[in-house]
């Protein structure tokens, strides 16, 4: 009973094997179905929890669990360490996600969570935007042009017939390389830099995907967007970090991905409870009732919902099986006699049977020096 | 930047390589030091959380996180599925534990958690018993003679000069094989079966390590133990599951490993807040103040504390390094340019550089059939 390891390289091979567009389309489709059928009677999604610290370096390590009864639980571990790029040549976010069989507890698969996170975040915006944006939306504005903006553009380019993409980033290098970085799927699109003001005024759909500092938001203000603009607030994922101006939020239909988290970490931090609309799954499940919001200013407050990771991981696992990718390793202890799982006897039997058939097993090895430092 | 995988086989090799006695002694020593130096300013141990379900099979999947600032976080995932042995030939408990660098978020190591859990549970009882039991304790009673009882006996045999070990299990087979199963480290001990009544009356130290059903406890009653008996309540780990009679608890000095958990899942479920004593680390840090409890009835309410897993994992990781055991795998995505982690461009560069130097990369593969079932 082995565990499948899907490394970042396996994940990339899956994406290239099925095609990035095909992968994104399928994920948007599955996420839509998952929102349509979501019920707390079949699926449990606790609010994520984690360790937040300021020393020795500022960082965050959090876990995002999700379970579908009788099927699978997934738990994504996400490390967020903004000092990584400069001090360690590592990305800010490192992530792995495990899938567990809820009928046995077995760790079925462990995979890198980086591409999965970007894809599902993009796909969730596509689902939200397709329901809440005005009919005929053609201009997309991206505030923040980093890796998440690439995934946002990819997902929205699969959902909308985009005429123009306006981009803005405080970092000129990041802004300057965006067109090249997105050329894999977006070479047919007209992408051009803009001032924040122009971008906000001209866009039908706006994605904010910035790493604006805590207490330093919003990322634009004093400029009036189109009266039907839809915003996807992606970089809203930390207490004190906000991207959208309060006066705009207060006039908007605000739809969080997961209310509990959004109130703690998202744009909803700025709002009173009665100013917050229904969760995305409720809007998806009642499209007709929310038809009218298309004509209003709408905000999808995206903090990252574990169900999205769950759906994406199931998809990657299916594709890995079809493409025969990944490495199988035996990690968990499965004793010979499951009814009587005695580790000492088992390991002795195991050792004597497999490695030292006639010699006695040595249980003392005084040569090994233990380091006596505490933990 | 790879992840070290320590499989059950690696863990067994470590145990056999350094010797089971040596390993247990070192763990008891380190756990003692960890309790002595524990402070919420250096270490964060949230109460464990998880999924509990009744269908399609009864089970539990929980995560137990612990972090030392500036050092490491460990997160143990534990699956508890009592139907495993009979329906799947799998052990009731499957477990893995991950260690994360809290300066970068990197998953340093993933290891099987089975032996680790048994060892640290035994070691914690040894720490508690050495402080709270009466001087000259010589008779150990084990109610429940399964795998946890083996680890309890092992740990306590390293701490006490045992004259006699009395065992009782409702399952005659489990009781009958105990001596053979513990012979690896306990062949010098006098182990004999007893009735529960005799066992309770005659023991100086008692460990209850049973799988008594919810609402079916306690595991003994109507019998008076020695007035200085110390009990380690090991099988107290589930809401509604208790092992020790209430009237005994109410007369005893009750020391939980982790008050929050013990109130929810341990013997402390039966008590009012003022009947619950200090946590084990407080007793360890104030030995002199609690000297008098040695003459009383004392109970260590052991629910399993994530700090114990943390300490044990650090030890196993050191030993793995010394013995050069384990398998290194690259799981996490580390893009070439960490400041600009663009998955699409990176994977394209990666693919073209390593596998298809001249051919264009295909991004559509219509031959791959997606299964259209939802999640």
**Which helix (H) or strand (E) segment is B68 a member of?**
strand B59-68
3-state helix, strand, coil in chain B (%, to 5): 40, 20, 40
Q: Given this model, what pLDDT does residue A351 score?
A: 40
The strand order across the sheet containing B230-233 reads B191-193, B164-168, B139-143, B205-208, B230-233, B298-301, B253-256
Which of A146, A338, A344 is closest, CB to CB, to B150?
Answer: A344
| pLDDT values of chain A reduced to their tens digit, one per residue, 375 residues | 899 999 999 999 999 899 999 999 999 999 999 999 999 999 999 999 999 998 888 899 999 999 999 899 999 999 999 888 888 888 888 999 999 999 999 999 999 999 999 999 999 999 999 999 999 999 999 999 988 999 999 999 999 999 999 999 999 999 999 998 898 889 999 999 999 999 999 999 999 999 888 889 899 999 999 999 999 999 867 788 899 999 999 999 999 999 999 999 999 999 999 999 999 999 999 999 999 999 999 999 999 999 999 999 999 999 999 999 999 999 998 776 655 545 554 444 444 333 322 232 232 333 333 322 232
By residue count, chain B amounts to: 375
Q: Given this model, what pLDDT does residue A340 score?
A: 52
The answer to whether A68 and A43 have CB atoms below 8 angstroms apart is: yes
Q: Given this model, what pLDDT does residue B223 score?
A: 97
Report whether pLDDT(B360) > 70. Answer: no
pTM (predicted TM-score): 0.89
- Look at A67 and B88 and tell me if their CB atoms are within 8 Å: no
Q: H/E/C letters for each residue in chain B? A: CCEEEECHHHHHHHHHHHCHHHHHHHHHHHHHHHHHHCCCCCEECCCCEEEEECCCCCEEEEEEEEEECCCEEEEEEEEECCCHHHHHCCCCEEEEEEEEECCCCCEEEEEECHHHHHHHHHHHHHHHHHHHCCCCCCEEEEECCCHHHHHHHHHHHCCCCCCEEEEECCCHHHHHHHHHHCHHHHCCCCEEECCHHHHHHHCCEEEECCCCCCCCCCCCCCCCCCCCCEEEECCCCCCCCCCCCHHHHHHCEEEECCHHHHHHHCHHHHCCHHHCCCCHHHHHHCCHHHHHHHHCCEEEECCCCHHHHHHHHHHHHHHHHHHCCCEEECCCCCCCCCCCCCHHHHHHHHHHHHCCCCCCCCCCCCCCCCCCCCC
Residue of B372 and B33 predicted with greater confidence: B33
Largest Cα–Cα distance in chain A?
Answer: 83
The answer to whether B121 and B152 have CB atoms below 8 angstroms apart is: yes
Q: Given this model, what pLDDT does residue B370 score?
A: 30
Cα distance from B204 to chain A (closest Cα, Å)? 25
Digit-coded pLDDT (tens) for B253-296:
999 999 999 999 999 999 999 999 999 999 999 999 999 999 99
Digit-coded pLDDT (tens) for A170-216:
999 999 999 988 988 899 999 999 999 999 999 999 999 998 888 89
The answer, for A171 touching chain B at a CB cutoff of 8 Å, is no
Share of chain B above pLDDT 70, in %: 89
In the structure, what pLDDT confidence band is assigned to residue B213 with cuts at 50, 70 and 90?
A: confident
Q: Given this model, what pLDDT does residue B340 score?
A: 52
Spatial distance between the Cα atoms of A250 and A254, rounded to a whole number of angstroms: 8
**DSSP secondary-structure letter at B194?**
-
Q: Given this model, what pLDDT does residue B362 score?
A: 30
Buried b (16+ CB within 10 A) or exposed e, B40-74: eeebbbebbebbebeeebebbbbbbbbbbbebbbb
Q: Given this model, what pLDDT does residue B337 score?
A: 61
Largest Cα–Cα distance in chain B?
Answer: 83
Digit-coded pLDDT (tens) for A125-168:
999 999 999 999 999 999 999 889 999 999 999 999 999 999 99
- Look at A375 and B327 and tell me if their CB atoms are within 8 Å: no
Spatial distance between the Cα atoms of B186 and B177, rounded to a whole number of angstroms: 13
Q: Given this model, what pLDDT does residue B236 score?
A: 67
Q: Given this model, what pLDDT does residue B89 score?
A: 84
By residue count, chain A amounts to: 375
Q: Given this model, what pLDDT does residue A354 score?
A: 37
The answer to whether B100 and A61 have CB atoms below 8 angstroms apart is: yes
- Look at A314 and B375 and tell me if their CB atoms are within 8 Å: yes
Which of B34, B75, B371 is closest, CB to CB, to A63?
Answer: B75
Chain B window 309-348: which residues touch A at a Cβ cutoff of 8 Å? 310-311, 314, 318-319, 322-323, 327, 329-335, 338-345, 347-348
DSSP string, A27-41: HHHHHHHHHHH--TT
Cα distance from B169 to chain A (closest Cα, Å)? 13
Q: How many of the other CB atoms lie within 10 Å of CB of A169?
A: 20
In the structure, what pLDDT confidence band is assigned to residue B335 with cuts at 50, 70 and 90?
A: confident
3-state secondary structure at position B187? coil
In the structure, what pLDDT confidence band is assigned to residue B181 with cuts at 50, 70 and 90?
A: confident
Two tokens at B197? 């009544």
Q: Given this model, what pLDDT does residue B211 score?
A: 86
For chain B, what is the mean pLDDT? 89
């Amino acid at each position: 009973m082995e565990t499948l390891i899907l490394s970042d390289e396996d994940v990339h091979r899956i994406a290239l094997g099925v095609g990035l567009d095909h992968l994104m389309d399928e994920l948007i489709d599955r996420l839509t179905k998952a929102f349509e059928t979501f019920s707390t009677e079949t699926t449990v999604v606790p609010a994520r929890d984690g360790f937040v610290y300021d020393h020795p370096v500022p960082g965050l390590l959090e876990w995002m669990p999700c379970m579908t009864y009788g099927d699978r639980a997934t738990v994504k571990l996400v490390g967020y360490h903004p000092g990584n790029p400069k001090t360690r040549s590592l990305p800010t976010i490192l992530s792995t996600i495990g899938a567990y069989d809820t009928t046995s507890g077995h760790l079925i698969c462990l995979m890198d969570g980086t591409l999965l996170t970007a894809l599902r975040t993009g796909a969730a915006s596509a689902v939200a935007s397709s329901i809440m944006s005005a009919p005929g939306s053609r201009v997309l504005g991206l505030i923040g042009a980093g890796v998440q903006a690439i995934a946002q553009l990819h997902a929205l380019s699969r959902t909308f017939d985009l005429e123009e993409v306006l981009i803005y980033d405080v970092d000129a290098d990041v802004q300057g390389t965006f067109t090249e970085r997105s050329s894999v799927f977006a070479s047919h699109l007209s992408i051009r830099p803009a001032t924040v003001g122009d971008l906000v005024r001209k866009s039908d759909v706006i994605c904010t995907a910035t790493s604006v500092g805590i207490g330093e938001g919003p990322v634009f203000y004093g400029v009036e967007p189109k009266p039907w603009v839809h915003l996807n607030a992606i970089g809203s994922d930390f207490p004190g970090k906000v991207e959208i101006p309060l006066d705009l939020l207060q006039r908007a239909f605000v739809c969080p991905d997961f209310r509990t988290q959004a109130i703690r970490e998202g744009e909803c931090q700025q709002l009173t409870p009665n100013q917050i609309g229904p969760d995305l799954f409720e809007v998806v499940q009642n499209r007709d009732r929310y038809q009218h919001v298309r004509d209003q200013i709408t905000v999808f407050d995206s903090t990252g919902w574990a169900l999205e990771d769950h759906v994406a991981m199931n998809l990657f696992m299916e594709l890995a099986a079809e493409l025969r990718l990944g490495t199988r390793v035996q990690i968990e202890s499965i004793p010979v006699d499951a009814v009587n799982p005695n580790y000492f006897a088992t390991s002795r039997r195991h050792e004597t049977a497999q490695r030292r058939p006639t010699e006695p097993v040595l249980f003392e090895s005084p040569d090994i020096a233990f380091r006596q430092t505490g933990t």
